[in-house]
Amino acid sequence: MQPEFLYRRVYLHAWPDLIGMPADQLPAMARICALVNRKPMVASLIPLILDLPKTEVFIALERLRDLSCIHMPAYEAVVADRLSSAHAEPANTPAMVPEDMPLVAPGFITRLWTRLNTASRR
């Protein structure tokens, strides 16, 4: 993987076809996709979190990128979007997360916070 991809945030765009994948790549690909689906993160942190060899992770990321399963926007593009949205009107603000990205199910804290908010209104 090229050095400029090491510090890009990885977003899962779509799950790859795990049935047609070689058996030696399947565990790493599935773990990477599950991690990035839960929380998009910088590519260089993935080997540390999953405790996998860097070469194996970056080969899997390249394959996922070639299959168009992940999206890694350039840092400058993300910063430019944030700066332009800070000066834009609220109605025209672009979404920071791609619209077709699956949303994470609400967790315990979210449910607790919602319950506390509704209880305090009574």
Domain boundary assignment for the chain: 1-122
Kindly tell me the number of DSSP H helices and DSSP E strands found in the chain.
Answer: 5, 3
**Distance, CA of 89 to CA of 109 (rounded, Å):** 31
Give the torsion sign (CA, 50, 6, 61, 82). Answer: positive
Q: What is the pLDDT of residues 60-117, one digit of tens each?
A: 888 888 888 888 887 555 555 555 655 555 555 555 555 665 565 667 777 787 888 7
- pLDDT surpassing 80 at residue 30: yes
Is-above-0.75 flag for pTM? no
**Distance, CA of 11 to CA of 33 (rounded, Å):** 9
Round the average pLDDT of the chain to a whole number and report it: 77
Cβ atoms of residues 33 and 15 within 8 Å: yes
